[in-house]
Chain A
Amino acid sequence: MIEPVELLAEHKHGLRLLSPVMAAAGTGVRPADAAGLGAVVVGTLTRRPHPPAPLPRLAESPAGLVHRLHVGTASLTQALRRHDWATSAVPVIVSIAGTPADCAHLARHLDETPGIAGIELRLWDRDADEALIVVSAAREASTLPLLAKLSPAEPDLLALAQDCVDAGADVLVIGGPLPAEVPALAGWLSGPALLPLVVPRVRQVAQAVDAPVIGCGGVCVPADVRAYLDAGAQAVQVGSAFLIHPFVQEIFATYNYPNPLKEDDQ
């Protein structure tokens, strides 16, 4: 039996995941196809739409792929026109990116949009100073639970994680693709190759910072979820595994993930 995870018991809205396994931003999984997931992160949305990157947009690398997929994103207006968030049985978190002013604008609109469980700020491709300004701007614009997604490659990750929490982030997501290059293109590395790199970063942040942590990178099978939960994460985000299995949540559905908070009580 998979148990729900309440990440923010003290928060006005709370953030209750139906299970510890979420769909990460950029997978394109629609809430209607998300049954069995703890939550789905939609987007990343930007204030204005961006055209897709020129070809080639991806190339395989050992145990993963290098890509430029997460840049071509929909605008909030486009997403709102066709969204099915309000009727979703699975909690919907919206990922946003842009300048601090853009993120404040988007956060304000999302605050007034029914059916949204939280806002995730895509900060893994920003420098630390910018990231903090975006967190502050979004915090001022919205009372929704705020998730800050930080790169495990950030040199001073612990300091940035603490600063983001101080600036108003409610949850830390450690993960997202890493900058990488193969002969065909320079872009971002995703896939199972990331797992052993991200898990120790999740452990460091979970031990040092007093905020719920979500791990993201390379999750393909239940044992990978276990690795993140054992490192102190309360949930995981699944990204590239959706490229292989459109309903990859079925792989995780039969697995029992004891609630880590309850384990602590034992």
Chain B
Amino acid sequence: MKQRRLLVLDNQRLRPALHSLSLNAAELEPGAWAPGQFLHVLCREPEAHSPFLRRAMPIHRLDAGRLDLLVRPDELGHAWLARRRAGDALDVLGPLGRGFDLPGTPGHLLLVARGLGIAPLVGLADQAVAHGWAVTLLATATRPADAYPAAQLSPAIEYQVCPTDAALWDCTPAALAWADMVAAAVPPAEWLPLRQRIEAARLTLVSGFAQVWADVPLACGVGRCGACAIETTRGWRHACSDGPVFDLTEVTGL
């Protein structure tokens, strides 16, 4: 729940509508975060009243005291964020939430991202590569000019951009067959199809095999208000504080 003021170091425009905002994270201990966690960012002047709510920004990357956020200026809050410049201060809560669990024994990791869902997966890809995993990243971009630039990724990561969601799912069955673990950042409506594809490719979905990053609208971010409640096998849970990463076997009521 820690509230901080983090300074913007750099605002890099990766694509016409895609920014990488680097923050000074020297005060964050390197081990104090996991890929999949997020910062809850106030995207307005503190005295202003709109847009009212904080924005949950997945930690895109964190290394050497720099924390990167991936920003697409497609709504008021994100547009405000994309206009920040070096030296501006951001009011943030976090890192918040439960991130991805990467098993100790390396193998093949399959990452599936729809649109900006790639943001929380890149940090996981970096960590997996560092621990000896073979990583494949499947992502979508409706126009090539919107795609996440391959140059931002470690050359060790196999990266494939699909033009449509349908094409994304066409790519997955083969990849699912060899994967030892799957992490997906796709909307909740896609969780059941993902589960069915895994069961088709591997006969059964075992706990620990697939984790999903729940992109559910958040309000408080700290497990109080109930806005992001999702149904799980353990009852109603908060995507913000019990997630945003959940095991795919755990989420129900889709």
Contacts and interface: CB of A to CB of B under 8 A. Distances in A.
A240 B70 CA distance: 27
A34 to B, nearest CB: 12
A127 B219 CA distance: 29
A242 B224 contact: yes
A29 B52 contact: no
Interface centre among B216, B217, B223 (most CB of A within 10 A): B217
Interface in B205-252: 216-217, 219-220, 222-227, 229, 236
Interface string A223-266: 00000000000000000101111110000000000000000000
A62 interface: yes
A240 B54 CA distance: 12
B154 interface: no
A246 B52 CA distance: 14
A246 B224 contact: yes
A32 B236 CA distance: 23
A64 interface: yes
A51 interface: yes
A23 to B, nearest CB: 10
Contact of A243 (B1, B49, B53, B217): B53
A10 B220 CA distance: 38
Interface in B7-59: 42, 49-54
Contact of B53 (A55, A62, A65, A192): A65
A63 interface: yes
Nearest to A70: B226
A172 interface: no
A52 B224 CA distance: 13
A60 interface: yes
B52 to A, nearest CB: 5
Contacts of B226: 28, 52, 57, 69, 72
Contacts of B54: 243-244
Contacts of A65: 52-53, 219
B3 interface: yes
A123 interface: no
Contacts of A186: none
Contacts of A192: 49, 52
A72 B228 CA distance: 12
A55 B188 CA distance: 11
A58 B1 CA distance: 22
Contacts of A52: 226, 229, 236
B116 interface: no
26 contacts: A28-B223, A28-B225, A28-B226, A29-B224, A51-B236, A52-B226, A52-B229, A55-B217, A57-B226, A57-B227, A58-B217, A60-B50, A60-B53, A62-B49, A64-B52, A67-B227, A69-B226, A191-B49, A191-B52, A192-B52, A193-B49, A220-B49, A242-B220, A242-B225, A245-B3, A246-B93
Interface string B166-191: 00000000000000000000000000
A228 B224 CA distance: 26
Nearest to B46: A244
A220 B46 CA distance: 10
A27 interface: yes
Contact of B52 (A51, A63, A247): A63
Given A28-B224, A58-B219, A69-B219, A244 B42 contact: yes
A240 B1 CA distance: 17
Nearest to B222: A246
Nearest to B216: A55
B64 to A, nearest CB: 29
A243 B225 contact: yes
B236 A244 contact: no
A56 interface: yes
A33 to B, nearest CB: 8
B231 to A, nearest CB: 8
